[in-house]
Amino acid sequence: MAISTINPTTAEKLKVFTPLTSAEIDKKLALADSTFKQYRKTSFAQRSAWLNRAAEILEKNKLEYARIMTTEMGKPIKSAIAEVQKCALVCRYYAEKAPKFLADVSVATDASESFVSYHPLGVILAVMPWNFPFWQVFRFAAPALMAGNVGILKHASNVPQCALALEDIIQQAGFPPGAFQTLLIGAEQVKAVIEDDRVKAATLTGSEPAGASLASAAGKQIKKTVLELGGSDPFIVLESADLESAVATAVTARMLNNGQSCIAAKRFILAEAIADEFTEELITKFQALKVGDPMSEDTDIGPLATSAILTDLDQQVQTSVQAGAKILIGGKPLSDRPGNFYPPTILTDIPLDSPTAKEEFFGPVALLFRVKNIDEAIELANDIPFGLGASAWTTNPQERDRLIKDIEAGAVFINGLVKSDPRLPFGGIKRSGYGRELSIQGIHEFVNIKTVWIK
C-alpha cells in the first residue's frame, strides 16, 4: 500500500514513502525492546522534564506543525494550530499528574503491609488515524511515556509527514531514540507487529473494521487492546433549551475538522415545538460558512481528507435521498474547484428504517430528526450501534437527570459541545469501542496493576 502525502486541497501528490521492510521493522522493535529495559528505570522527574520539553517544542513550532497537518489532511489552519496547542496541554498535564496517578496505593488487609503498585508493560503499539494526526498520538504517547512504557506508531498512510514529525518532536525533547518510533508501514503489516512477542499491548483509534482486525490479532496473542472507534453522536434539543446557544454550538459540533470527527454531533434530534425554528437558524448559519483553502485564516470548511471519503460521503447522501430523505442545503460535491470539497449539508425526513439513519457520516452533513418528547428522543439517540458521546440541551433538571442516566454513551454533555479533555476519561461503549484514554483511567490502561502483600 502506498504511503503518500496527497494534498486534499489540490489533489497533488507531494511525496511518496516506501514502507519499511520486515527486516527494518525488526530492527526498530529490537531498539524499542532494548530501550524499554533501561527507560523503565528512569525517574518520574526525568520523564516529566522530557515531556515538558516536548510541550515547549510544540508551542514554539506550532505554525510549522499545523501546516504539515493542513497540507496532508486538509483541516483549517486555525484548527490545526489549536490542535498543536492541545498536544502541549496534554504533555504538561501528564508531566504534572502522572507521579500521583501511579503512586502506590496502600490497602488495609491482614498483611503487615499491602498496597497496589503500577508498573509499565513494555512496547505499546499505537495505530492512529488521520483526522487529528497530532492530538490522537499525543493523548496516547504522553501517559504511555510517563508510565515508563515505550511506543511504536503506525499512523494513517495519508499523514506520513505528521508521523515523522511526531517522532522527531519526542526525540528532540530528550527521550531516548527507542522510546517512541514511527513505523511507516501499510495496514497489511500491522498483524505481524502485534504478533511479535516484544509488543505487549496495542491501542487503536479508527474504523470498526480496523478495530475488529487489531483486536482479533491481539486476542489470539492474549494482548490487551484499547479501541476508540466510530460514532454517530446525538445532539438532542428539547423544548426548554436555550435555542440560540444550542444552534450556535450545533454548527461547531457538526463542522469541527470539516465534519470528520468521531465525536462530532451527527444526528440532531429535535423536539417538535422548537424543530422549525432550530432548522431555520441552522440553515442560515450553515449558509454563512466559508468553504475554501484551509491555509486561509478565514476558511471554516476545508476539503475532506481523501477522494475516497468524498465519494463515500456523497454515496451516503444519495442513498438517503433515494430512501426518502430531503436535502435542505448542499448535497453534492463542489465541482468548481480541484480537491475533495463537500459543502455544508442538511438532510431531513430520513426514514428511521433506512440504513443511513444509523450510519456514521464522516463529513459536513447534518441529519435532522423530530421527536414528540424526551422518551422518543432517548429511544432514537440509543437506536444505533454506536455509543461514543452525546450532547443534550435542556434547562429542566428532571430532563437533565433522565438524559444523563438513560443515554447509552461514554460521555454525555449537557448544554455543551462534546469534546476530549485531559482531565476527563474518554472512550465509548457498544461498537464505539472499549477502554479509556486520558485522565487517571487512561494512564492505568497500559500498566501492570500489581498487588503487593507483605508479612
- 178, 60: one domain: yes
Range of the domain at 310: 233-421
Stated as kind and residue range, the H or E segment containing 405 is helix 397-406
Q: Which amino acid appears at position 86 of this protein?
A: K
A 10 A CB-CB count for 161 gives 18
Could you tell me if 262 and 224 lie in one domain?
no
What single-letter DSSP state applies at residue 10?
A: T
pLDDT above 90 covers what percent of the chain? Answer: 99
Residues 175 and 313 in one domain: no
Tell me, yes or no, whether 190 and 294 share the same domain.
Answer: no
φ, ψ (nearest 5 deg) of residue 251: -65, -50
Backbone angles phi, psi at 426, to 5 degrees: -130, 130
Burial of residue 117 (CB within 10 Å: 0-12, 13-18, 19+) is middle
Q: Cα separation of 4 and 305, whole Å?
A: 12
426 within domain boundaries = no
Q: What percent of the chain has pLDDT over 70?
A: 100
Residues 217 and 260 grouped into a single domain: no
Give residue for cell 528505570. Answer: 41
> Active-site positions?
228, 262
Query: pLDDT per residue over 133-185, tens digit each?
Result: 999 999 999 999 999 999 999 999 999 999 999 999 999 999 999 999 999 99
257-271 confidence digits (pLDDT tens): 999 999 999 999 999
Q: How far apart are the first and last CA of the chain?
A: 57
Q: Kindly state the average pLDDT of the residues 88-109.
A: 98
353 plus 413 within the same structural domain: yes
Q: What confidence tier does 221 reach under pLDDT thresholds 50, 70, 90?
A: very high
Say what the alpha-carbon torsion angle 407, 408, 409, 411 is, to the nearest 10 degrees: 30
Handedness of CA 265, 267, 426, 158 (dihedral sign): negative
Q: What is the DSSP string of 91-140?
A: HHHHHHHHHHHTS-EE--SSSSEEEEEEEE-SEEEEE--SSSTTHHHHHH
Q: pLDDT (tens digit, 9 = 90+) per residue, 420-442?
A: 999 999 999 999 999 999 999 99
Nearest to 118 by CA among 453, 444, 359: 444
Helix (H) or strand (E) holding 215: helix 208-220
CATH number, position 199: 3.40.605.10
DSSP letter for 423, please.
Answer: T
In terms of domains, do 269 and 284 share one? Answer: yes
Same domain, 222 and 92: yes
- Tell me the CATH number at 256: 3.40.309.10
Q: How many residues does the chain have?
A: 455
User: Which pLDDT belongs to residue 218?
Assistant: 98
Residue 394 has pLDDT above 80, yes or no: yes
Instruction: Tell me the average pLDDT across 106-110.
Output: 98
Q: Establish if 427 belongs to a structural domain.
A: no
Helical pair 135-146 and 160-172, crossing angle rounded to 10 deg: 30
Beta-strand ranges (E) seen in 258-404 are 265-271, 326-329, 345-348, 365-371, 386-387, 389-393
Residue 445 lies in a domain: yes
Grid cell in block for residue 397:
433538571
What pLDDT does residue 1 have?
66
Q: What is the pLDDT of residue 147?
A: 99
Copy the grid coordinates of residue 135.
492530538
Task: Please tell me whether the overall predicted TM-score, pTM, comes out greater than 0.75 for this model.
Answer: yes
pLDDT of residue 289 exceeding 70, the answer is yes
Q: Residue 362: inside a domain, yes or no? A: yes
Asked whether the predicted pLDDT for residue 2 surpasses 90, the reply is: no
pLDDT at 285 over 70: yes
User: How would you classify the pairing of strands 150-154 and 123-127?
Assistant: parallel
Mean pLDDT over 92-104 rounds to: 98
Secondary structure of 29-95 in the HEC alphabet?
Answer: HHHHHHHHHHHCCCCHHHHHHHHHHHHHHHHHCHHHHHHHHHHHHCCCHHHHHHHHHHHHHHHHHHH
Distance (Å, whole) CA 171 – CA 168 = 5
